[in-house]
Structure 1
Amino acid sequence: MGSSSSKAKLQLPKSPSNRPSWAGARKEDFNNVHPTARRPIPQASETKNEDIMNDSKDPHLLSNLSRLGAVYVPPKELSTRPSEQRTRSFLTRKESEQEAVSGVPIRNRLQARVLAELLNERKSVTSHAELLALAERYSMDADVLERLSVYVNTPSVSENQTIRLVGKDGDDRILMKAIWREPPISAVASA
């Protein structure tokens, strides 16, 4: 900001003796240098050599590291070892693939889509015998189905709580309240 007279002017040294050592330096032409005259590229090493020592004397790195301070390193003990986790996930995946290939359903195991169908059909069951037959048809134990249905259900719509909204542009939307619906036999079966 301000006028140009208030800004500092860049002053370059007039004589070569006042110039910094790097001023006027030229990049070496590697095409014209003999291959044995080139300095080898530093390689990784297990022991400290001169190149590693020179690289470690970076003042900016040292100042940044000292500014960071101590670093928290979590303890090595984990609840499970990574190899155990990999083994467990491998076995689970292998079991799942064998189940899918076999085509024979494993008792009390359903895919999400099939489980949704089962829970929808369960809502229309009127007797305990129908519930047992439904569970058997899906290869489920009736007690497992009942325990599962305490926590999981499919959405049902309340018929008497439906609202129709018409927007300014003429689009209408229907809002329906979702409810938890139990089969008619649940009161009889629990009594």
Structure 2
Amino acid sequence: MGGSSSKIARKLPKEKSSWAGTRTPLEQGGVQEIRRAMPSRPLAFENKTDAVEVDAKDPQFMSKLSQLGPVRVDHHMQSVRPADSVQQMYRSRLQSEVEASPSHSTRNRLVAASLSDLLESRKTIKSQAELQALAERYHIDVAKLAELARFINAPSVDESTIVKSSNQDGEETLTMMVHWVDPKLET
């Protein structure tokens, strides 16, 4: 996905071959001669003829079928309904989205985008009062936010570690280090 270095390059010939674009000229009556040379046999039949029956026989196919034998059907099998599990997944996802929506009054539940915004905003706060206001804006308890922030954070790029490089095809890549940013709260 993405870079052209992961795609196979299509190689085309550098020069045209000597026969490219040329056609064999047909004589004026050449088409009629070709049609006369073909047997005058119909392309389709209304009834099966002996020729059709012979053409339809495939001895190798028939021998393979006879080796397989008759089909055994287990009538006690239960049908698999993958659609039920998919619908259950969609229902639970929808319920989770509804519970995390701002119009719903559930505390300590956020959708992923809101969680990312919360963690990004948390990096810039300076005091405990700002932390309390931020937690209230996102309907999350300050204790839950502190517990969550111990293990999850939004990535922060260390500007001093950005390295630009390019490969032989001229593609540029950026490599950088990210670091964990915790706000420095004034007490």
TM-score bracket, normalised by the shorter chain, equals: 0.3 to 0.5
Which structure has the larger Rg?
1
Taking structure 1 as the reference length, the TM-score comes to: 0.45
